[in-house]
Amino acid sequence: MAYVIGGDCIKCGSCAEGCPVSAISEGDETYIIDADTCISCGACAAGCPVSAISEE
């Protein structure tokens, strides 16, 4: 199950830097996780300083 980034995202980029498969890119208002590329490892959620990332 892929992770998703919620509206609390502050666009700091920590999640993208921590993603081992480069599944995260910068969107207009938040970062976006590509569900097809995400391997559900949780590295992004662990690195998010505002806990904006959760399992879908």
pLDDT in tens, 18-52: 999 999 999 999 999 999 999 999 999 999 999 99
pTM of the predicted protein model: 0.90
> 8: closest CA among 30, 28, 34, 26?
30
Side-chain half-sphere exposure of 28, counting CA atoms within 13 A? 0
Q: Does the structure show a pLDDT above 90 at 53?
A: yes
Distance from C-alpha of 30 to C-alpha of 3, rounded to nearest angstrom: 14
3-16 pLDDT, tens digit each: 999 999 999 999 99
Q: CB of 41 within 8 A of CB of 24?
A: no
Backbone angles phi, psi at 17, to 5 degrees: -65, -35
Whole-number CA gyration radius for the chain: 9
